[in-house]
Structure 1
Amino acid sequence: MASEIVVGIDFGTTYSGVSWAVNGGTKTIRLINDWPNPNSTVANSDKVPTKLSYKDGKPHNWGYAVDYREESFRWIKLLLDPKNRIGRTAEAVLTSTKLLGAMNKSAEEVAADYLKMIWEYTKSDIQRVRGDSWASIYTLRCVLTVPAIWSQVAKEKTLKIARMADLPENLSMVTEPEAAALAVLKEKTSEEDGSLEIGDCFVVCDAGGGTVDLISYKICGLDPLQIEECAIGDGGLCGSVYLDQAFERYIKTIVGEEEYKAIKERDKKKMLQEFELSVKRTYSGDDKPYSVDLRGVQDNLDDGIDDDTITLKPSVLQTVFDHVIGQIMRLVEKQIDEAQERGNRVKAILLVGGFGTNRYMHRRLKEAYKRSQIQILQNNGAWSSICRGATMWGLENSPNSTYTKKTVKARLARYSYGLCYSVPFNESKGHLMQDRWRSPTGTWMARNQMGWLIQKGDRLEDGRVMTEQISTPVQVSMFSSGTRAFLQELYYCADDDPPPRREISVKEFCTVNYGIDCGKLWHEESFKDPTSGEKWRHAKFDLMIALDSATLHFVVIYRKKPVAYTKAKYKEEM
C-alpha cells in the first residue's frame, strides 16, 4: 500500500495556512512558511494573505505577490456563508462583490482559483522536501478547516470549491476550533511542567479574521491525550476584519464621506495594510501614539491629520478595539457559564487564531478573570495552530492511521436533528385538529409531529450512529415497473428544548431524494384501505445519522443497503 501524505489547509478570511505530514514514522508536521513574497524583508511567515488578482479574466497574483495598486479580491470567504449579513457591508467585501459583477464570476469561482494557487504551491513544497518522484510514492489526503458556526450550505460550498480547485478526492472537513484545540492541547501534553491534569476544563477561543468560535474541552486521558466537549460550542461574526471596518468608519468620519470616496483606492488599501501590520497586531491598550499614512487627505490638525499622516487618538483606538473585543468577551463569558452549569471548573482560556495573538485582548480577559483565577494562555504558534491541528486530525482519522484512540472522544450536539412524522391522533397528547388526517389504514393521524433523533446538548461518542426506522405507505402492483421516487427531509432546531410539533423554530436542514425498484416494493407487507378497498404496501426504511467535527452524514437504508447518502440538498437560509 502506498504511503500517505496528510495536508491540512486553513482557508481564512484574511490569511490562509498549510501544513502537511507523512502518515508514518515520526509523523513530523511541516508548516509551510516560505510563501512567495517579492517585497519581503522578513524571511518567513506562517500564513499567506487570502488575496487574489486577475489579468485578462485569469488568476494573476495571489498572497503576498498582490500589489496594493492592483484590483484584488479580499475577504472572499465571507461571501460563502449566506447567513453572514454583517460582513457584506464591509468595504473590502463590497469591493470584492463589485469586482465579481465586473468580471462575471461567482464567489465560489474566485475562492476555488485562490485555493488552486495554494494547492499548487503545496505540491511544489512536498516535491522540494520528498523529491521529484513523490507523486508515485504517496497518496494524498486533505483536511480543510471551516468555522464551527458556519451553516451546512457554507460547508457544502467549501467542498464544492475544493473540488473545483482540484484538491484530492480524499477530502475531509474539521471545524477550526477543534483543529486549534488539537494542536494546542497536544503540544501542552508534550511539555514537562505537568500543567494538564485529568478533569481540567479549557475554553478554546479561536479568534480569526471573520469568525470567532468557542469550544470547551475536558481532559479525559493524558497518555494518549483524550478530550471531550464539555459545553455546547458558540461563536459569532466578530473577527478582526470588523476592527478594520470600525477603523475605516472612523477615518471616513474625520475625513468626510465625499473626500474619502475621492481618495485613490490603492492609497486606502495601503492605509489599511499599515493599520493591519503596525497598529492591529501591536496594540496593547497603552497611550502610545499610533499613526497611518493616507495620501491625498486634506490637513486638519484638530483631527490629527497633517501631511498625509493621520495620528490616531488613544481613546479612539481603544473604542475601536473595545467594540469588537467586547463582543468576544461576552461570548467567552457565556461559554464559561455553560461549562460551569454542566459541572465543570474552567482552568484556562486558550487564545488561538490570528486575532487571538492580540495583546490587548489578552489584557482585557486577564483583568476580567483575575478573581476567578482562570488563566489566559497565548501559545507560540497560535496563528498557525488551525492548519497544524487539521493535519493532526487528518492523521488520526485516516483509514491508514496507527492511532488506537482518537483525541476527541465525544462532542456535544449544537442543534437538535429530527424527522417530521404522522402519528396516531390523540387530543390528550396536545395534537391539534388542524393536523388531523385519515390514513389509508383508516386510522386518524396527526401530521407535523417531530421525532428528535439528536437533541441539542446530547453527548455524542465519536463514531456513534443514530438509527430510526420509518414506514411509508405505497401503492404498487405485481405489474408495476421502473422505480418509485421517495423524498426524506431532515430538520434541525436551535432551541434548548425543541418543540414536539413542527413550528417556526424548526427549520429544514436537508432533503434526500432516492428511488426504489417497484419489483422490490411489491414484496413488502400489504394492507387494504377499509374505506376504498385499495391495496397498499408498507415500505420500511432505516435512516442513519452520524455527526463528526464538521459534517453530518445522513444515510437511507433499504433492505440493509444504502440507497441515498451524502447527496443531500441543503436548504439555504434566507
Structure 2
Amino acid sequence: MEDHHHESTGIPIPDQGTERLQLAIAIDFGTSYSGIAYIDSKRTYREAPEVLTSWKGKPDMVLSKVPTIIAYPKDDKAGLPILWGYEALGRSEDDPRSEDIPRFKLDDYIRYSNFKLRLPCHGSDSDGAEPDPDWHNYEDVDPERSAGGRSAEEVTRDYLNLLFEHFEESIVDLEPDYSSIGCDYHILLTVPATFTKRTLRVFESILRRTIMANRTNSDMTIHLQAGSYREPEAASMYTFFELSNTSRMAEGKLNINDCFVICDAGGGTVDVCSYKTNGDIDISNSQYPFTLTPVTEPEAKFGGSAMIDFGFKSFVLMRYGHLAVQEMTELEMNTFLQEFISRKEAFVDSQYTETDYQNIPLPRTLRILFPNERGFLKISRSKMREFFARSVRCTTELLLSQFYSMCDIPQNHIKPSQIKYVYSVGGLGSSEYFRRAVQHCIETADFGRFSHVRVSSPHAPQRAVVSGAARIMHQNMIPTIPSGLPVFQSHLINASYGVLVQTFEGDGKTLIKNQISWFIKKGRYQGDNGPFLKVEKPLARMLSKRMAVNDTVFYCKADPGILPTCLSELEHLPRHMVIEVCTIESDFTKVSKSDFKATTSEGATSRLSEIFRKLKKVTRSISASQVPTQYSLVMTVNGLRAELFSEFKGQRISKVQELNWQLWNWHDPDSIPGGELPTVES
C-alpha cells in the first residue's frame, strides 16, 4: 500500500483507493489514570471517537479510565503475573464479582504509582537535576529503586505494554474489523505541558522499547507519534466539539474575537492553554466554519488531584499515627483511599447538606485499634476545603497568568472583557466544588478585573484529553477536511531569539557592533498549517580567508515591544529575562575554495559592498583585503523541539544546537538552573 503524507504534519495518510481500514488511536498516559480512545478512517470528522470502558479487575463496570498503577511480584520465581490498573488496587473479600476472577494478595507485590512524575524530569533539563521541589513533598511518587530495583522508565514501558495489549484484546471483541490483521494503527500519545526536551526524549526512548514500536506483524503497520500535541491542546479539540451541543453547554454563544481557557486539572499537573475565536460560533445551530487561534503558550504546575489525596493521607497519619497505619494491609489502604476519592468527587460544600461531615468507613485494622471512632472517619467541611486549597490556589495562579499574558502581549490586541470562559477538564473537572472555588478566586482577584469570566466543564470532562487526541489523529489521517475546521496544530513562539551583531546584517541594514538583532519574536506562530517553523537570518562577515567565526544567540522572555537593542541595555533587565543561549561556530574551512571565492568576490551585492566601503572609512578593524561573506543562521521549531545552525550556500557549516523549548517558571529566577538554557550538540 502506498502512503501519502499530510501537508502540515507529515503523518502518513492512507491511499484513498485502498480498502484497508485505518484506525486512529489516542493514549492518554496520565499520572493517576490513563485511557484509550479510537476512531476509524471511515467515520466522519463530526462523529465522536469511542472510548475504551472495560478494564481488567472491573469487568462489570463502565469506566473511561484505568488507574496508572502497576504491581510486580516480590518473588520473581513465584509464577505470579504482573498486576496493573484496577487489579493492582486489589479487591475485598465481599466483592460481589464472579469467582472465576483470580484473587491475588497485594502483600506479595511491590506496587508502583505516580511514576510518570519520576520521568526525568519535569521543570528542569539539566542532567542529574532534580524535578520541581514541590514534587518531592508527596509520598508515593514512586518507590525507591531499592524497593524493587526498577526505574521509572522501566515501569512506564511495562505499563504502556500492558495497556496496549489490553486494548488489542478488547478491540477484537468489540469490533472484529479493528483487529491487527484487519487495519493499520495510527497511535498518538499526548504529553503534559510540563514535559521538557529531556523528558520528551526519555519518553520517546521508552516508546521505542514498547511492543507498539516493535510489532513484527507484516500484515499491519503501526504509525506511532508522541510529543506533537500537548494534553491541554487535545482537551481543546474535545471542548470545541462539545460547544456545539446545547444540551451539554448552556453558555449560549461565543462571538468573533472571544477568548476562552482550557484548564486540564489531572492527577499530577494542572495544564492551561488559551484560544481566540476567528469566526462566529453559534452553539444553538452549530455554524461552521470557524477557527480557534492560540494566544498564549500553555502553562502547567503540579497541583492536580494527587495533591488533594496527599493531604488526606497526611491527615490520616496525624490522626492515627504511623504505627497504626503501618498495621493496615495494602488492600485496606487502597480501599480507604478510594472511599475518600469518591467523597472528594461528590463534595460540594453546601450549607444545605444533610451533615457537616464526610463519613468514610474505616478499614478493619483501624476499627479494631480505634473502637471509639464507631467505624467511621469523620471529615468536616472545613477540612475538605483545606484538602482542596492548594490545588485551587495553584489553578487560580495559572489562570490569572494566562489572563495577564493574553492582555499584556501587544500583538494579541485582547481586552479583559474578551475573555469569556474557563473550561475545566480532567479528573478535577468533574468536581463541582473545585469549579466553584476557582470561580470565586477569579472573581475576587485583582479587584474583580476578571469577575465576568465563567468557569464551566464540558460533558464527561475526564475524557477530554483522550477523546480530543483521537479527533486530532483522525483529522490528520483525512486529507480533505472542511477549510475552516480547527485542527489545533499551531503553537506560539514563547520567547524572542536574537543574534549579537558582529559587523552588519546581510540584508543591507547597517548596524553598530554589539547590537542585538531579533530574528524571531515572542507570540509568532510556528506555522499556519502545522507545528513547524523555519526562520533564516541572513548574516555577513568581513573575511579574507576561510576560517571559523562565532555568533552569539540570545533568548528573551520580555514582550516584543521592550526588547533590548544592545548589550549595554541588558544591565537594566532582570537576570533571568535575557539569557545567552549558545554560540554558533560557523566553520568556513569546510567550504570549498571555489565556492568561498565566488561568494566573496562576485556573490556580494553592490549594496553590501557599498556598506563595507563606508565601514572601512570609519573603522580600522576592517583591512583592505577583507571582503563581505554572506551566510545564514537557521532556526527550526518543530513541536517541542528547536534547533539552531548556520548554512553557507545551502551547506551546513556548524554543529546543530538543540534548544530547550519548554521553559521554567520565569517569574522565579531561582527555578532556572545556572541562569542558562542548556543546549545539546547533535
TM-score bracket, normalised by the shorter chain, equals: 0.7 to 0.9
The equivalent of 1:139 in structure 2 is: 184
The equivalent of 1:454 in structure 2 is: 520
Q: 1:339 to 1:490 in 2, by over 3 A?
A: same
Mapped to 2, the partners of 1:133 and 1:146 lie a distance apart of: 26
Say which of 232, 256, 263 aligns to 1:198: 256
- Larger mean Cα displacement after TM superposition, 553-562 or 337-346: 553-562
Confirm or deny that 1:184 pairs with 2:257: no
Q: Is the 8 A contact 1:413 1:457 kept in 2?
A: yes
Q: How does 1:78-477 map to 2 (within 5 A)?
A: 78-80=117-119, 81-83=121-123, 84-93=132-141, 96-98=142-144, 100-131=145-176, 134-135=179-180, 138-165=183-210, 166-167=212-213, 168-172=222-226, 173-191=228-246, 195-221=253-279, 222-257=287-322, 259-261=324-326, 263-276=328-341, 278-286=342-350, 287-297=356-366, 306=373, 309-340=376-407, 342-343=414-415, 344-367=417-440, 372-398=451-477, 400=479, 402-405=481-484, 407=486, 413=492, 415-418=494-497, 420-421=499-500, 423-424=502-503, 446=514, 451-458=517-524, 462-463=528-529, 465-469=533-537
Mapped to 2, the partners of 1:220 and 1:444 lie a distance apart of: 41
Q: Is the 8 A contact 1:228 1:408 kept in 2?
A: no
- Larger mean Cα displacement after TM superposition, 250-259 or 217-226: 250-259
Mapped to 1, the partners of 2:485 and 2:520 lie a distance apart of: 22
Q: 1:85 to 1:567 in 2, by over 3 A?
A: same
Q: 1:59 to 1:217 in 2, by over 3 A?
A: farther
Q: 1:492 to 1:353 in 2, by over 3 A?
A: farther
Mapped to 2, the partners of 1:159 and 1:487 lie a distance apart of: 33
Say which of 32, 36, 55 aligns to 1:18: 36
Say which of 630, 634, 646 aligns to 1:543: 634
- Larger mean Cα displacement after TM superposition, 467-476 or 211-220: 467-476
Secondary structure of residue in 2 paired with 1:66: helix
Mapped to 2, the partners of 1:489 and 1:273 lie a distance apart of: 54
Cα drift, residue 323 of structure 1: 3.0
Cα drift, residue 378 of structure 1: 1.8
Identity, in percent, stands at 22
Q: Is the 8 A contact 2:235 2:464 kept in 1?
A: yes
The equivalent of 2:102 in structure 1 is: none
Q: 1:323 to 1:171 in 2, by over 3 A?
A: closer
The equivalent of 2:128 in structure 1 is: none
Mapped to 2, the partners of 1:237 and 1:283 lie a distance apart of: 22
Mapped to 2, the partners of 1:570 and 1:231 lie a distance apart of: 18
Cα drift, residue 291 of structure 1: 1.9
Mapped to 2, the partners of 1:565 and 1:405 lie a distance apart of: 40
Q: Is the 8 A contact 2:296 2:492 kept in 1?
A: no
Q: Residue type of the partner of 1:223?
A: Y
Q: Residue type of the partner of 1:390?
A: A
- Larger mean Cα displacement after TM superposition, 203-212 or 371-380: 371-380
Cα drift, residue 159 of structure 1: 2.3
Task: Give a deviation string over 1:158-198, Cα, whole Å, max 9, x none.
Answer: 32222222344541421111111111112212548863433
Mapped to 2, the partners of 1:92 and 1:518 lie a distance apart of: 54
Q: Is the 8 A contact 1:52 1:59 kept in 2?
A: no
Q: Is the 8 A contact 1:263 1:297 kept in 2?
A: yes
Cα drift, residue 562 of structure 1: 7.6
Confirm or deny that 1:30 pairs with 2:84: no
Cα drift, residue 273 of structure 1: 2.6
Tell me the C-alpha RMSD between the 2 structures. 4.3
Task: Give a deviation string over 1:287-344, Cα, whole Å, max 9, x none.
Answer: 243324245448898xx96256422222222211123213222333343344455225
Q: Is the 8 A contact 2:429 2:457 kept in 1?
A: yes
How many residues in Structure 1 have an aligned counterpart in Structure 2? 542
Mapped to 2, the partners of 1:65 and 1:474 lie a distance apart of: 70
Q: 1:230 to 1:92 in 2, by over 3 A?
A: same
Cα drift, residue 157 of structure 1: 2.5
Mapped to 2, the partners of 1:141 and 1:228 lie a distance apart of: 26
Q: Is the 8 A contact 2:191 2:229 kept in 1?
A: yes
The equivalent of 2:63 in structure 1 is: 45
Q: Is the 8 A contact 2:35 2:466 kept in 1?
A: yes
Mapped to 1, the partners of 2:517 and 2:149 lie a distance apart of: 45
Cα drift, residue 11 of structure 1: 0.9
Cα drift, residue 570 of structure 1: 5.0
Cα drift, residue 542 of structure 1: 4.6
Cα drift, residue 513 of structure 1: 10
Q: Residue type of the partner of 2:520?
A: I
Cα drift, residue 368 of structure 1: 5.1
Cα drift, residue 76 of structure 1: 0.9
Cα drift, residue 392 of structure 1: 1.6
Cα drift, residue 243 of structure 1: 0.6
Mapped to 2, the partners of 1:236 and 1:23 lie a distance apart of: 36
Q: Is the 8 A contact 2:34 2:66 kept in 1?
A: yes
- Larger mean Cα displacement after TM superposition, 180-189 or 319-328: 319-328
Cα drift, residue 498 of structure 1: 5.8
Q: 1:189 to 1:461 in 2, by over 3 A?
A: farther
Q: Is the 8 A contact 1:177 1:214 kept in 2?
A: yes
Task: Give a deviation string over 1:68-87, Cα, whole Å, max 9, x none.
Answer: 42422111111123423212
Cα drift, residue 54 of structure 1: 2.0
Mapped to 1, the partners of 2:30 and 2:653 lie a distance apart of: 36
Mapped to 1, the partners of 2:133 and 2:365 lie a distance apart of: 32
Mapped to 2, the partners of 1:311 and 1:453 lie a distance apart of: 61
Secondary structure of residue in 2 paired with 1:204: strand
The equivalent of 1:523 in structure 2 is: 595
Q: Residue type of the partner of 2:225?
A: L
Q: Is the 8 A contact 1:485 1:516 kept in 2?
A: yes
The equivalent of 1:439 in structure 2 is: none
Give the structure-2-normalised TM-score. 0.68
Q: Which blocks of at least 5 consecutive residues in structure 2 are unaligned?
A: 1-14, 91-105, 124-131, 214-221, 280-286, 351-355, 409-413, 505-510, 602-619, 663-671, 674-682
The equivalent of 2:88 in structure 1 is: 66
Q: Residue type of the partner of 2:469?
A: A
Q: Is the 8 A contact 1:23 1:401 kept in 2?
A: no
Q: Is the 8 A contact 2:258 2:276 kept in 1?
A: yes
Confirm or deny that 1:5 pairs with 2:23: yes
Cα drift, residue 120 of structure 1: 2.4
Q: 1:516 to 1:145 in 2, by over 3 A?
A: farther
Q: Which has the higher strand share?
A: 1
Secondary structure of residue in 2 paired with 1:105: coil
Q: Is the 8 A contact 1:52 1:62 kept in 2?
A: yes
Secondary structure of residue in 2 paired with 1:363: helix
Q: Residue type of the partner of 2:345?
A: R
The equivalent of 1:438 in structure 2 is: none
Cα drift, residue 350 of structure 1: 1.0
- Larger mean Cα displacement after TM superposition, 494-503 or 71-80: 494-503
Specify the structure having the higher radius of gyration (Cα).
2
Cα drift, residue 238 of structure 1: 0.8
Mapped to 2, the partners of 1:217 and 1:444 lie a distance apart of: 40
Mapped to 1, the partners of 2:405 and 2:153 lie a distance apart of: 36
Mapped to 1, the partners of 2:320 and 2:516 lie a distance apart of: 56
- Larger mean Cα displacement after TM superposition, 375-384 or 536-545: 536-545
Mapped to 2, the partners of 1:202 and 1:555 lie a distance apart of: 37
Q: Residue type of the partner of 1:226?
A: T
